[in-house]
Chains A and B, each alone.
Chain A
């Protein structure tokens, strides 16, 4: 399968470059530190703050992980190889998306040590919000990766890609703030675009089908647009 060929190549590249290691190390360091600080101050066996912090660190780290995905192919002229091979832009995008998701899942798996710790030492640890929270975190990662892939397809400059991705993610993160400013349909519409509001529901233990579908559509739309940008090279 050509999608898996791309995925395998991306994973190789990630681990050949120091970026993945640095992101992994700083993510785990910060999340671990926050887990400890929150636990000793609040003395509550809940994972909600940890998952909230993890999502925010991911918001900062994600553009760095995704910026090279397509920018580098353009800069290194390897796009010419991909686009003159019998492989479609969508296959390229999906391969890269899957590679990034594998990485994020590994990162998320590594944070499972914290709920394990809590459930080991706490008698009243509620597992419900943990499950829903992790489902939310995976969906959130998928949204981050897809938007990052799209912005990476726009420029051959990795810094520009990263900045665009960060700006875009932050915008979707804070869209909900408008809800308090406008108490009308406009505020509600902006609020419904907020990935943060939707993610918060998961942290409270709610797996809402509307929220799930939102994240799936969010991912599909950006992946589709990324594929179109690559394809557009052929008819520009």
Chain B
């Protein structure tokens, strides 16, 4: 559905993208991940035909973004980093304007606006002036603008930035929901976001692709072995620390330093496989201790990122 082939983009002498290639299949959500200034926005702008590439080709829905940009634009909804809103207009008049320039036929314009507004929880605000809306609502109007003409492809540049936690969850659900009949690229710098919405991720750093993989693979890759954060209340056993040591050394575990706070021992435990934990859990509970916390330690973007970029350097040295 979307294909980028050897895209390079210079701003003057600055190389923003270097030989980027990836494809997105129909109905897929692809996460574009990277720190600020990595080139995510540039890549998206090239796909939307807002910016030309210095070299390379990109197609959306089978149309070249440069040669057949009007065809591409008909099939594409785009939410830029800053939602493109006319602050003096009301939500309804704004959406009506967008509907007109996106070539939505007159007779279905009104129902489409109502429907989109309902999907984004904007019905109550249709009559309000955009400049008076909160940041979260403005972001929703921005998303409404992108999906209004029901495009095949949606490109969302940091759709949840600046939203409160509840809104972030709502927007993520919405994106997942949209994925059933759209192909979506979204950019973010939170790994949590892509792990909730995307299956496949492209990680960009300094204009280069450092990884194209599934979220599951990336997480596994970065943490290596499974690790759990555990907190245990030892009960009345005075020698629990010793006992615990025995248990952990009996298995293949790597255990971090015990931190004892208000009688609760906290530590991170790493094992070869997930199955190894079963034995550990069984032994701890048979020793009479109570679990207060068991949670998997997932790799953050920083971890994945550091690992990937440092690997890159090592590869360079070899």
Contacts and interface: CB of A to CB of B under 8 A. Distances in A.
Interface of A: 2, 5-6, 8-9, 12-13, 16-17, 76-88, 233-236
Given A234-B49, A234-B52, A85 B101 contact: yes
A77 B142 CA distance: 12
Q: Which of B45, B82, B87, B101 has the most CB of A within 10 A?
A: B101
B66 to A, nearest CB: 8
16 contacts: A5-B100, A6-B101, A8-B97, A12-B89, A76-B85, A77-B82, A79-B84, A80-B84, A82-B101, A83-B50, A84-B50, A84-B73, A85-B102, A86-B102, A234-B50, A236-B52
Contacts of A235: 52
A78 B86 contact: yes
Interface string B90-114: 0001000110111100000000000
Nearest to B78: A84
A86 B72 CA distance: 8
A95 to B, nearest CB: 9
Q: Which of A79, A82, A87 has the most CB of B within 10 A?
A: A87
Interface residues of B, number: 29
Interface of B: 45, 48-52, 69-70, 73-74, 76, 78, 80, 82-89, 93, 97-98, 100-103, 145
Q: Which of B49, B82, B100, B103 has the most CB of A within 10 A?
A: B100
A78 B73 contact: no
A79 B50 CA distance: 9
Contact of A76 (B69, B74, B84, B100): B84
Q: Which of A8, A83, A88, A235 has the most CB of B within 10 A?
A: A83
Given A6-B101, A84-B48, A84-B49, 19 more contacts: A2-B101, A2-B103, A5-B101, A8-B97, A9-B89, A12-B88, A12-B93, A16-B88, A76-B85, A77-B80, A78-B85, A80-B45, A80-B48, A81-B84, A83-B50, A86-B74, A87-B101, A234-B50, A234-B51
Contacts of B98: 81, 85
Q: Which of A2, A81, A83 has the most CB of B within 10 A?
A: A81
Given A13-B89, A77-B84, A86 B73 contact: yes
Describe B's contact surface by its main secondary structure.
Answer: loop
B225 to A, nearest CB: 45
A80 B50 contact: yes
A233 B50 CA distance: 8
B86 A13 contact: yes
A230 to B, nearest CB: 12
Contacts of B49: 83-84, 234
A37 B142 CA distance: 53
B146 to A, nearest CB: 9
Contacts of A80: 45, 48, 50, 78, 80, 84
A87 B149 CA distance: 14
Contacts of B73: 84-86
Nearest to A95: B101
A9 B89 CA distance: 9
A2 B70 contact: no
A31 to B, nearest CB: 28
Contacts of A5: 97, 100-101
Contacts of B89: 9, 12-13, 16
Contacts of A17: 88
A233 B45 CA distance: 12
Contacts of B86: 9, 13, 76, 78
A13 to B, nearest CB: 6
A6 B96 CA distance: 11
A68 B101 CA distance: 20
B88 A78 contact: no
A76 B83 CA distance: 9
A201 B52 CA distance: 48
Q: Which of A2, A85, A88 has the most CB of B within 10 A?
A: A85
B87 A76 contact: yes
A80 B88 CA distance: 18
Given A16-B89, A84-B73, A9 B82 contact: no
B97 A9 contact: yes
Contact of A86 (B45, B51, B101): B101
Nearest to A1: B100
A134 to B, nearest CB: 32
Which 7 interchain pairs have the tightest Cβ spacing?
A5-B100, A81-B84, A16-B88, A78-B84, A77-B82, A84-B48, A80-B80
Nearest to A8: B97
A84 B78 CA distance: 7
Contacts of A78: 84-86
A81 B145 contact: yes
Contacts of B102: 85-86
Contacts of A83: 49-50
A14 to B, nearest CB: 10
